[in-house]
Each structure stands twice: as structure tokens, then as C-alpha cells.
Structure 1
Amino acid sequence: MPQLNPSPWFFILLLSWAVLLLVFKTKILTSAPHNSPMLPDLTASHTTPWNWPWT
């Protein structure tokens, strides 16, 4: 049984991993909701702090 050259198989492995990661990356980026951070409204009045009823 002849010994196979590992070089093309290693390249195929790397190429398949790159394709797999690229597919997952595009799926994650397209499915993630784009929530931009919002600053708190400084003009609104703040409510009083809430306390536990048994304290």
C-alpha cells in the first residue's frame, strides 16, 4: 500500500476549515440584530429608589 503525500490533504483540510468559518461568520453577521448603544436621557426625572418591603 503506497504512502500518500500529506501536503494536498493538509491544504484540503485548511481550505475546508476556511470555508466553514467563512460560512459561519456570514451567517452570524447577517442574523445578529444591530442594536446601537443609546445614551441615557438626562432631562427625564429619575424615580425614587425602590426598597424591599421588609426593611
Structure 2
Amino acid sequence: MPQLNPNPWFSIMLLTWLTFSLMIQPKLLLFTHTNLPANKTPTTLKTTPWTWPWT
């Protein structure tokens, strides 16, 4: 069963994760969000009950 041979696929997976961890992840962590949720003030909505016509 050739799919159980980890020889080529393990090195590809290892190289992919090293690339992600060392190059892509630091760039993503430096991204600043333009809309921070902590800066928003909570608003309370006034709800009115629905009047059913058959009650």
C-alpha cells in the first residue's frame, strides 16, 4: 500500500508547517484590525411584544 509510505509526504508536510510558522504567521499577527469590538458601546434595544390579532 503506497499511501502508507511517509517518505515523501512527511517532508512536504514538515516544510509546509515550517513555512507557515516562520514566514506567514508573523505577518498575520502584525495585522491590525480596523474595527475593534472593544471600542464599541453596547446598545440596548427596546423591544415591544407582538400583538397577535387572534388573542
Give the TM interval when normalised to the shorter protein: 0.3 to 0.5
**Which of the pair has more CA radius of gyration?**
1
Q: TM-score, normalised by structure 2?
A: 0.43
State TM-score, norm by structure 1.
0.43
